Amino acid sequence: MDLTARFEKEALPQWRSLFRTACRLTRNVDDAEDLVQETMLRAYRAFNRYEPGTNIRAWLYTILHRVHQDGLRKKRRTPGLDELPEEGIPVPPPQAFVAAGGEDLSRALDKLAEPFRSAVVMRDLEELSYQDIARILEVPIGTVMSRIHRGRAQLRESLVGGAS
Amino acid sequence: MTCNPELITGYVDDGLEPAQRTEVEAHLVTCAICLEQVAAERALHARLMALPSPEPRRGFENELRRTLHRARPSPLRVLLPIAAVLALAVLWGLRMPRVLAWELARDHRSCFSHDSLPAEVWSDHGEVVGAWLEAHGVPAPPFPDSASGLSLVGARRCPILDRTVVHLYYTGGDRTVSLFVVPGAVQLSDAHFRGTARRQAVRIFRVAGATVGVVGEHAEDVAEFERSYRSTQARLTPQAGGLTAVAALW
């Protein structure tokens, strides 16, 4: 099987999972699509360096995280861009979910500061292990645990505050 | 064990070492507060897992496939770099140190313009870096831990012209230095060059059978680095033949 066929079989099917995370990281469907496109493109070009049989999800998430961080850095270098209203389609909440109060949780997650949001999303939405998250974020496992703990604590606080 | 909320999070996520896990389990038997945290985090995890996944635009998957299809290397895209490499290989053969100087200056600037250096091994000890290079099939002649006020920080293997070159990084204050080592002999027998490439001072010279080049912003830095490199070679390699080393200072 050539490299392209292998990529289509092993990596490409992960795009939905990457998209789900990308939506949470960018908080915007358009930006999430761009992030997934760029991630897949870089992954495809670097696929000859991927070691078959190792964790493809962790490998793809590492690229996703780097692309996202590059994007944030570029944004920071462009003065005034942060103040602009976010363009594109906001992530729409399905009605059943709104009724169940999930929208509050979704909003609270979107409001989490970046280092905590990435860690919580990778753990609680994608169920990646601490070891994988540490490798992806390039931080020690203790830092992953601390970020997830603080992220969840803030979420719980937001939900309690929102309910009262 | 006293209450440690972060460890409780690790316990919920099955992210603890066995010994830590046993400790937390023993603590949970007697601590209602931590037990409550376990329940709360599990409930929150379940709710987060149940968050609906947003949908991309219709046709996004097809668009993604088309993008990847366009990125496939066409025969032309494969052949052109090969032709370029062959042409450059001829230039090596024609003894054109200017081409080498230009390539090294370009690579040096490219590496140091990254947010972080693309090093594969990080160490300020020449022996550590040298052992790593040898283990990865690209042995380099002895090189200094520091020179001209600049200290070694790491290295990587990088393709330059038609071969894999060892690229060693040095920094000191706002100055940076690259030392490139080309495994195997190259046909630069008259490789003495002093001039500029990409607005940087360049020297290419031979030391004890090896070809060495220095590229830098200031001609005096380049001269100083050449002296340091020569003295290191004289001290550490009485017979440094068969390898080409090129140093760049910026």
**CB-CB neighbors (< 8 A) of A12 in chain B:** 64-65, 68
> Chain B: residue nearest A34 by CA?
B64
What's the whole-number mean pLDDT along residues B21-39?
94
Distance from CA of B163 to the nearest CA of A (A): 19
* From A18-27, A144-153, B109-118, the region with the lowest mean pLDDT: B109-118
Q: What is the share, in percent, of chain A residues with pLDDT greater than 90?
A: 52
* pLDDT tier, B38 (very low <50, low <70, confident <90, very high otherwise): very high
Tokens for A108, please give them: 């609270």
**CB-CB neighbors (< 8 A) of A128 in chain B:** none
Max mean pLDDT among A51-60, A70-79, B155-164, B241-250 falls in A51-60
Gyration radius from chain A CA atoms: 17
- Nearest of B72, B225, B203 to residue B143 by alpha carbon: B225
* Inter-chain CB proximity B56 and A32 less than 8 Å: yes
Max mean pLDDT among A76-80, A83-87, A158-162, B48-52 falls in B48-52
Please check whether residue B136 is in contact with residue B243, taking contact to mean a CB–CB distance below 8 angstroms: no
User: What average pLDDT is seen over chain A?
Assistant: 82
Residue A91, phi then psi, degrees to nearest 5: -65, 120
B204 or A24: which leads in pLDDT: A24
Distance from CA of A83 to the nearest CA of B (A): 24
Longest dimension (CA), chain B: 80
User: What average pLDDT is seen over chain B?
Assistant: 77
pLDDT tens string B165-219 = 778 888 777 788 787 776 555 555 456 778 788 877 777 777 665 666 777 777 7
**CB-CB neighbors (< 8 A) of A99 in chain B:** none
Longest dimension (CA), chain A: 58
pLDDT tens string B92-113 = 555 467 777 887 788 777 777 7
What are the Cα distances from residue B15, in Å, to A78, A123, B35, B59? 39, 11, 17, 39
pLDDT of the residue at A60: 95
> Residues B25, B26, B29, B30: what is their CA dihedral angle, to the nearest 10 degrees?
-130
**CB-CB neighbors (< 8 A) of B72 in chain A:** 4
Q: Which residue has the tokens 């006020």?
A: B149
Task: Label the pairing between strands B210-216 and B121-122.
Answer: unpaired
Of B10, B45, B72, which has the smallest distance from its Cβ to A4's Cβ? B72
- Distance from C-alpha of A63 to C-alpha of A95, rounded to nearest angstrom: 33
Domain A95-164 in CATH 3.40.50.300? The answer is no
What are the Cα distances from residue A3, in Å, to A79, A88, B100, B129, B237? 41, 34, 33, 32, 44
How many beta carbons lie within 10 A of that of residue A28, not counting itself?
A: 20
A82 or A153: which leads in pLDDT: A153
Domain boundaries, chain A: 1-92, 95-164
Tokens for A139, please give them: 């931080």
**CB-CB neighbors (< 8 A) of A94 in chain B:** 52
Mutate to test the interface with B, among A25, A148, A157 (most CBs of B within 10 A): A148
- Distance from C-alpha of A118 to C-alpha of A148, rounded to nearest angstrom: 9
* Inter-chain CB proximity B61 and A23 less than 8 Å: no
Complex ipTM more than 0.85, yes or no: no
pLDDT of the residue at B163: 64
Choices 1.10.1740.10, 3.40.50.720, 3.50.50.60, 2.40.40.20: CATH for A1-92 = 1.10.1740.10
Tokens for A53, please give them: 């049989």
Mutate to test the interface with A, among B68, B78, B116, B157 (most CBs of A within 10 A): B68
Residue B83 has pLDDT above 60, yes or no: yes
pLDDT of the residue at A91: 47
